[in-house]
A = this chain, B = another copy of it.
């Protein structure tokens, strides 16, 4: 029986990409392909104690249906943490707890997009977001970027001549896939431009707290005077991803629409998982935990940059992330990323080819490299093998 599916299904990620990703998951592979946090830092023992206490003290409420908006004390903690880290002035009432921040991406598409509407994004941008939006059949317009992030003047030009722009999706801090961070000057310019056109902004900030040096820049949300910015956050990178806990912070009129969507999508996020994060933060110092993550990832970032410098041919380029989980390789002209990927798989090492991160134009010269999940010896060995693969192709 061949079912007749909705048109949008033609737009969802092809099984081809999924098949490629499966290649990177074989146990013998040194994988820089995923975006997995380091599991050795998950607060397993602390969560065991928290779970025990929670089930003793409020088991029945934990296991019952709950409000769509989320656990009140967790919403409050999220608002407070956003203020402390990202200089926002958001109240608990402006937070919706979601099933990971991936769910916020889906909801934003659902909230804003009729078929043919325009989504603006950095070029390149996060694959999972592009895929979530694609289900709502938009047209993507890519805004040029350089090593300083999105170029606001280019955005201005695009907005002056493009109809049906519904929102712009950006990751200003340690971007996925490039690892780049926008400067203060870029942030200010960007806000001028979006204010001029009153363009809604989806600010995705999964990695902001994981800054290895210097101070966290103010979030776009903290600079927003017109209620244009929706801020997406997650516990996946500072705590653990298996619980699926994220949030969106938005103006009340916008948040109420997100809440309606949430109700029809899955009623509410796991009540037990929300309580685990909430009570963990009562009993333990999340800042101390985040420092441990930063120390480890800083070390791994340093090691991978050292290894790149040591092994890579001199005409391969890479970004130098000041935080987060990823860096971005650019191969010299004549070297195909697809061929590097295939050669790497032969050598049991993997990154993700860059083309998937560009919604329109096809490119064949980049690779995204994750450095948060592999131990030291595998980082060195993996980059060595990858360099050999490239050398064999030149």
Contacts and interface: CB of A to CB of B under 8 A. Distances in A.
A110 B110 CA distance: 10
B264 A106 contact: yes
A286 interface: no
A55 B13 CA distance: 34
Nearest to A130: B264
Interface stretch (A57-65, A171-179, A203-211): A57-65
Copies in the complex: 2
A376 interface: no
Given A39-B60, A42-B64, A55-B48, A132 B273 contact: no
A267 B244 contact: yes
Given A65-B241, A266-B106, A111 B42 contact: no
A196 interface: no
A276 B51 CA distance: 12
Given A44-B63, A112-B6, A243-B272, A12 B55 contact: no
A271 interface: yes
A256 to B, nearest CB: 7
A373 to B, nearest CB: 9
Interface string A109-144: 011111001000000000010011011100000000
B47 A266 contact: no
Contacts of A134: 264
Given A5-B111, A132-B264, A227-B1, A40 B13 contact: no
Given A6-B112, A64-B241, A102 B260 contact: no
Nearest to A65: B241
A324 interface: no
Contacts of A242: 61-66, 270-272
Interface string A259-277: 0110111111111110010
A88 interface: no
A265 B12 contact: no
A264 B66 contact: no
Contacts of A34: 65
Contact of A6 (B36, B111, B243, B273): B111
A37 interface: yes
A5 B120 CA distance: 16
A172 B40 CA distance: 48
A184 interface: no
A200 B4 CA distance: 9
Contacts of A310: none
A255 to B, nearest CB: 11
Contacts of A267: 100, 102, 128, 244
B251 A1 contact: yes
Given A99-B99, A241-B64, A257 B5 contact: yes
A7 to B, nearest CB: 5
A4 B113 CA distance: 9
7 contacts: A8-B110, A44-B59, A44-B60, A62-B242, A64-B240, A102-B264, A244-B267
Given A2-B253, A243-B271, 7 more contacts: A8-B110, A45-B59, A48-B59, A65-B242, A106-B264, A131-B263, A135-B261
